[in-house]
Amino acid sequence: MKLAVLSFLLFAAPVFVVSAIAEAPVRSRPDAMPPEKPLCVDASRSNNYNARPISLHDVLARNSMGDMRGVRLGTTCIHIDRTATIGLHSMTGCIGMGDEVGVSAPGGQREICRVTSISPVAEDYAKAEYKY
């Protein structure tokens, strides 16, 4: 009896272990990429983010610390001058649809508008150019 159990453990058990490892989900393997965390630009305070105009209706924003990936915010603004100062405000922390965008252009013109779209950008924040 002991011989039968030992032979089973020596020959059959490794097959079960190997098949269990082969069928393990990809996410548990160390070489798999972790899922990308959602992008959150914290607009609860003015020193938490950097924002600048990127086109007539869009703003480029990113966190000032931590996750530095940028987002392109589509707005309801009529005309954002390339030299304008941008202010974002969100009650929930992360900037979202409908949140406030304040635009102050040189010469005293001010405009308050809303976020209409949010999309990640692949280009570097510092190298992104204003496009008409």
Domain boundaries, the chain: 46-120
Query: Looking at the predicted structure, is the pLDDT value of residue 6 above 80?
Result: no
Could you report the per-residue pLDDT of 30-75, keeping only the tens digit for each?
555 556 678 899 999 989 999 999 999 999 999 999 888 999 999 9
pLDDT of residue 116: 97
- The answer to whether 83 and 77 have CB atoms below 8 angstroms apart is no
Could you report the per-residue pLDDT of 84-118, keeping only the tens digit for each?
999 999 988 899 999 999 999 988 889 999 999 99
Q: Tell me the whole-structure pTM to 2 decimals.
A: 0.69
